[in-house]
Amino acid sequence: MSSKNTTVRADLIIRAEKLITMSPRQPVLNEVEVLIREGRIESIRPAQEISGYGAHEFIDARGCLVMPGLINAHCHAAMTLFRGLADDMPLKQWLFEKIFPAEARYLSPENVYWGAMLAFVEMISSGTTCFSDGYFFQEKTLEAAQKIGIRGLVAQGVIDFPAPGVPKPEKNLAVAKEFVERWRGISTLLTPSIFCHSPVTCSEKTLQGAMELCLSNGVPMQIHLAETLDEVDSVVAQKGMRPVHYLERLGILNETLIAIHCVHVDDHEMGLLSERQVAVVHCPQSNMKLASGVCPVRELLSAGIVVGLGTDGCASNNDLDMFGEMDTAAKLSKVASGDPTSLAAGTALKLATSEGAKALGLGKEIGSIEVGKRADIIIVDLGKPHLQPLYDPVSTLVYSAKGGDARDVIINGKVIMRNREIVTVDVEEVFWNVNKIANKISV
């Protein structure tokens, strides 16, 4: 913690009775003020007698917990349009019989814009300040993200089938290339990326071409990997090896790759992921709902792999609440291992903050409240019966808090939600447009 003269000018000062920094040096601070200037944390000082002195804007967070914004490391934002459309069925049937046909029929640039905007309203309302997305018509997802003011990694979807906006599969990489090159470097909040659907829906040429594009443009590549036993069996039958080994043979296992799910990986595959510095994203609620299996999170962490936490899309979750995802991740690991100490609350919180930032390649910028980092901060209102009494703030956040407990959200130093009201968009307009679209969607 640094202390500066009270004459320092700041854009925003947050008075925190209790600050969870997620910094290993000073994890919890009491009675401090966070000074923010030009989107970054200028200093953290002892609370002043006259709080907010020297600030253009002041937030009094006494009676609350101040913490880093949550990071949803994998979602398909515009799939909010299909929330509840196809529940209670196996992934393969759900995907090929319900979701792919619905996407082909109902996805359009305008619909993706409003579906993504609904996702961002939901995420911000539940304390998420950064997301990682893979879908189609992604220029509209970026447009919605810019409008509301959320941080994100936005990836153009790539699949070797006709897809929304890419009716000719042979053009999929050309579309991805144009997307990345157009949006790279335009915004400090938004980074373009490429998302290959999976090893069974993308050819060797597609996978290698996507990685080449990502490496040449300095952006991450994302892929669903080893999500189900069906996927593993298909890759083994077609390629004679397990999925992680298959990607290794193709030369695309490296620090640029973000592998989502990794439910069915063995010890050797985990060792390979670690050696190649591949980040993994765990999506426990989606895996449970689709009966995909239980990701070996503590084994991945023990192998030295960076693991983030994600919700996946609303069609397989069915919400974007990262507080619920943390609670599920911790409890699922315990019940699966038979060990109540497995994936403790502190670890779960890291997956949704500091480790999630590292998984997305943003660890130097966000994920903790430290001087010099981007000011992505949320304030959790403790004035709720389910958050009393407060013995351990970290355990309370993971096991008791809900998304609706987020009171204020600051992204890049800008207040996006104040006292539960999003101030950058008209939420009622978002709801109206989404329901107008939903009325045209048949089950």
Q: How confident is the model at residue 51 (pLDDT cuts 50, 70, 90)?
A: low
Residues in Cβ contact with 254 at an 8 Å cutoff, skipping those fewer than 6 apart = 211, 276, 277, 278
Say whether both 62 and 86 belong to one domain: no
Say whether both 56 and 78 belong to one domain: no
* Residue that finishes a domain, picked among 336, 359, 382: 359
pLDDT for the residue numbered 231: 96
Q: Is residue 287 included in any domain, yes or no?
A: yes
Residues in Cβ contact with 30 at an 8 Å cutoff, skipping those fewer than 6 apart = 17, 18, 19
Q: Is residue 440 included in any domain, yes or no?
A: no
Q: How confident is the model at residue 5 (pLDDT cuts 50, 70, 90)?
A: very low
Q: Is residue 438 included in any domain, yes or no?
A: no
260 with 225: CB under 8 angstroms?
yes
Give the bridge partners for 157, in sequence order. 195
Q: How many domains does the structure of the chain reveal?
A: 2
**CATH number of the domain residue 406 falls in:** 2.30.40.10
Say whether both 285 and 315 belong to one domain: yes
HSE of 85 in the Cβ direction (CA atoms, 13 Å)?
24
Q: Average pLDDT for residues 368-375, to the nearest whole number?
A: 98
Say whether both 114 and 27 belong to one domain: no
Strands 377-381 and 406-411: antiparallel
Higher-confidence residue: 54 or 130?
A: 130
408-431: pLDDT as tens digits: 999 999 999 999 999 999 999 999
pLDDT for the residue numbered 7: 53
Cα 36 to its chain centre, rounded Å, is 24
Say whether both 15 and 133 belong to one domain: no
**CATH number of the domain residue 182 falls in:** 3.20.20.140
Q: Is residue 4 included in any domain, yes or no?
A: no
16-25, 44-53, 310-319, 377-386 — which is least confidently predicted?
A: 44-53
pLDDT at 125 over 70: yes
pLDDT at 370 over 50: yes
45 with 60: CB under 8 angstroms?
no
Q: What is the 3-state secondary structure (H, E, C) of 193-207?
A: EEEECCCCCCCHHHH
pLDDT for the residue numbered 400: 98
Q: Average pLDDT for residues 365-374, to the nearest whole number?
A: 98
Say whether both 396 and 377 belong to one domain: yes
pLDDT for the residue numbered 100: 87
Say whether both 172 and 144 belong to one domain: yes
Q: How confident is the model at residue 53 (pLDDT cuts 50, 70, 90)?
A: low
Q: Average pLDDT for residues 197-210, to the nearest whole number?
A: 97
Say whether both 200 and 306 belong to one domain: yes
pLDDT for the residue numbered 50: 62
pLDDT for the residue numbered 3: 41
Say whether both 224 and 252 belong to one domain: yes
Say whether both 406 and 341 belong to one domain: no
Say whether both 236 and 255 belong to one domain: yes
Say whether both 83 and 172 belong to one domain: yes
* Residue that finishes a domain, picked among 359, 384, 399: 359
Instruction: Say which amino acid occupies 266.
Output: D
Instruction: Say which amino acid occupies 97.
Output: E
pLDDT at 368 over 80: yes
The average confidence (pLDDT) of the chain is: 95
DSSP letters for 359-375: HTT-TTTSSS--TTSB-
29-33, 184-188, 392-396, 414-418 — which is least confidently predicted?
A: 184-188
342-374 exposure pattern, b = at least 16 Cβ within 10 A, e = fewer: bbbbebbbbbbbbbbbbbbbbbebbbbbbeebb
Q: Is residue 437 included in any domain, yes or no?
A: no
Q: Is residue 111 included in any domain, yes or no?
A: yes
- Domain span holding position 204: 70-359
Phi, psi of 143 (to 5 degrees): -60, -45
Q: How confident is the model at residue 2 (pLDDT cuts 50, 70, 90)?
A: very low
Residues in Cβ contact with 29 at an 8 Å cutoff, skipping those fewer than 6 apart = 1, 16, 18, 19, 21, 44
Q: Is residue 410 included in any domain, yes or no?
A: yes
* Residue that finishes a domain, picked among 335, 359, 383: 359
pLDDT at 6 over 80: no
pLDDT at 341 over 80: yes
Q: Is residue 175 included in any domain, yes or no?
A: yes
pLDDT for the residue numbered 86: 85
230-258: pLDDT as tens digits: 999 999 999 999 999 999 999 999 999 99
